A and B are shown apart, each in its own frame.
Chain A
């Protein structure tokens, strides 16, 4: 699996998680992967079920929402110049500084199992997280995750 050129934003300068979620979500809408209401659904879900993960050395967020908002399963990616704060998954009061975002557009529980597991493997590797934060192009991103996502 590779991340589509149109679905990756490298070294994004953003002020808030909402801004990042809107930018990535509109890429997914523009490319026809998800329905119009996807962004609103993602934003709502992030409040009810936060997706920030306290990985090392930088936090990662994996925003996603219900499968009925999705036409075709895929993953969008953003690396941030400066961190934005997400609520930590499993909490409603702990914040985590996030510099990598993998926005998951998932239709079914099983169709992306392998990709999801590989992705979680990647972000558990501090060296890989550091490299992903410093990535300079989509090509380099896909080289880095080749065989791993």
Chain B
């Protein structure tokens, strides 16, 4: 491993790491552009590089973009990847009330810690952790997706019915197209473009960015209020203080992010949510969540940065991508002749170790680059007049939805869903439940049908669904999360009764 360390510190690789993180952060910070797109367009570049360097470049861009996505989430309420959804929930309210710079710095610090935890897990624990990922069969994925969906209900507390409706709309949207399991062609209205279903990233961009864009244009007031002290600094000391107070939350969220990120396909989107929900559940000021709680931003950002490292584990060891950008990086790996599999760490270990160490370096470089980019992003959003901001965002959303698969129909879908999304938001149906339903639907359904078929083959369907230890644990967790508000209220009543 020592040679890998030296290799990773070579000037070329260091430069790649730095440029990658910088480029990734800038791209991720632009609303409308996503981490997936950033990685997708940069892949061809890496073919001319040697495998380790190419991987470092892609990994750095990915890390930077996940992290830059926090800026778009905080300042413009438009998460760039599924992992950043929870950041917007508290980040944007913080920005609205004038604490945008604090949120930005907090997310920077939390991301660095989260990213390090994920990368370290990748470095030292990849093979054993991937065995755990293998133990997750269709049933476990089904329950995991149900758990994720149940989080929608928890997070829309107070407007639970609306959240449920939104989630179901997302679920229905996810069934559009040709089903993987069963081959049914559903809800396509005869359009061949819809056979593949509704693509997630354009849908996300549409549902989050377009309503923001519309509001930007039709509301006379400024997007974010200026406060004169804001331009001064990073509020770094303040942020450090908050992070220290939240250290338990921070580490726990990073671990959750890594652990959930290991699960292929489901990982990225669910990780941030689970961490956020846990933080909310255990916080003394849980009512603040959703209105600008710093702990929420910390939890979400630590978790989603941890999914970078965590998501590489199934990608490298099982050949199944952990998150959408991982799928693209996987393709690049194969072109470079890297064979995924547990033997990757033994046979081509030097490449992998150089890559992971490079990833760690990139994560650490996030601290300075993030703070600097964050400051400029913040200033930019505040000072640019709407007549320039609005067209800029519009252009970015078009590019962001087109470039991933080079498909103009995706742009149309993005706009269409966006306009509908704005109308829905006005009636009270927020974007997050719909997007979550869209992402988790296929996972839940595939898991369900596969589990049903396997259970049927074994002659015992109920045992399949309810008889396996990991799924039971997930079911218990789901019930706990759903029931917690009631338990907490009951406990509070008893306390009050006891004190009286």
Q: Is A bound to B?
A: no
B residues whose Cβ falls under 8 Å from a Cβ of A: none
A residues whose Cβ falls under 8 Å from a Cβ of B: none
